[in-house]
Amino acid sequence: MVVPSELEKAMEIFLMCFHKYSGDKEYLTKGDLQKLMENEFPEFLKNQNDPLAVDKIMKDLDQCRDGRVNFHSYFSLLAGLTIACNDYYTRHMIPNKK
Amino acid sequence: MVVPSELEKAMEIFLMCFHKYSGDKEYLTKGDLQKLMENEFPEFLKNQNDPLAVDKIMKDLDQCRDGRVNFHSYFSLLAGLTIACNDYYTRHMIPNKK
């Protein structure tokens, strides 16, 4: 049996989380995205201190204006959040990083 | 103490894995990428059955042709692999997925 690497396990979490909230669809509705953000990124939402935060994220991700966030757009959201975390990490946590 | 969600933990793995291989730099060299692929995606490399697989990936990711893969490009690699996994998952694992 092949044991997945840490990175492969993380990819699986990304994948399964999408399907957890999309159910039997291939996309997230605004309601699905709202639940995902509230459950998975509660601190982020709290720090935004903006009751329209999820509406704004939905507007960014729903490029086709059909009320649907597909897997690619969901991954863009995670990319944006992780890149922001990396910027913070490289600036503040490892000051000698060149 | 705030307990991170599964998705936040996965994002942290993505982030820390980059820094594990980049060391004190803000980018991966081809050698770093080779080690990352061999250690984190051994089955993928084996299935490629192509000794030049990492060279080809490096060529795709090194858009500036400076021999460096930055965090954005590293995330593109993970996005491509995860999206491919999702396509497989939706086609083969959940046939009733609409």
Q: What stretches of B1-98 show up as alpha helix (H) in DSSP?
A: 6-22, 30-40, 42-48, 53-61, 71-88
Q: What is the DSSP letter of B5?
A: P
- Is residue A90 less than 8 Å (CB to CB) from chain B? yes
ipTM score assigned to the predicted complex: 0.88
The pLDDT tens digits for B36-91 are 999 999 999 998 889 999 999 999 998 889 999 999 999 999 999 999 988 888 88
Distance separating alpha carbons of residues A95 and A91, to the nearest angstrom: 6
Q: How far is A82 from chain B (nearest CA, A)?
A: 6
The 3-state secondary structure of chain A, one letter per residue:
CCCCCHHHHHHHHHHHHHHHHHCCCCEECHHHHHHHHHHHCHHHHHHHCCCCHHHHHHHHHCCCCCCCEEHHHHHHHHHHHHHHHHHHHHHHHCCCCC
Give the per-residue pLDDT at A64.
86
* Residue B96 confidence (pLDDT) above 70: no
Q: Assign B93 to helix, strand or coil.
A: helix
**CATH number of A24-93, picked from 3.40.50.300, 1.10.238.10, 3.40.50.2000, 1.10.3470.10:** 1.10.238.10
Domain B13-93, CATH:
1.10.238.10
Distance separating alpha carbons of residues A20 and B94, to the nearest angstrom: 13
The pLDDT tens digits for A53-68 are 999 999 999 888 999 9
Give the per-residue pLDDT at A90.
87
* Residue A44 confidence (pLDDT) above 70: yes
Bridge partners of B70, per DSSP, are B27
Task: Say if CB B41 and CB A8 are below 8 A apart.
Answer: yes
- Is residue A29 less than 8 Å (CB to CB) from chain B? no
Using a CB-CB distance cutoff of 8 angstroms, which residues of chain B are in contact with residue A19?
A: 89, 94
- Is residue A13 less than 8 Å (CB to CB) from chain B? yes
Q: What confidence tier does A95 reach under pLDDT thresholds 50, 70, 90?
A: low
**Per-domain boundaries in chain A:** 24-93
